[in-house]
Amino acid sequence: MKLCRVEGSVVATVHHPAFDGQKLMIVQPVDGGDSFLAVDRVQAGVGDVVLVNQEGNGTRQLLKLGPNVPIRSLIVGIVDDVHRDE
């Protein structure tokens, strides 16, 4: 799981059928690194801090779309607050 911030959305007219009806978002890891695409099932918006599952098998199980789904990253929650003890 990664903590990320939503940076925008993606619209694609041509895509794999597994993406039909799915909302794609551009997310940026909070701790740095490259941004990537994630399917949004929790109605996140731009600027939201979200929890992203980046493990393909877990994502397939959550989406219940079968074993051969080309979706690896899934937004599974919107984070309200983060506390770090230092």
Domains in the chain with CATH codes? 2-78 (2.40.50.220)
Three-class DSSP labels, 15-37: CCHHHCCCEEEEEEECCCCCCEE
Q: Is the Cα torsion angle 12, 19, 36, 74 positive or negative in sign?
A: positive
Residue 1: count other Cβ atoms within 10 Å of its Cβ: 11
Q: What is the pLDDT of residues 37-48, one digit of tens each?
A: 999 989 999 999
pTM above 0.85, yes or no: no
Q: What is the pLDDT of residues 18-29, one digit of tens each?
A: 777 789 999 999
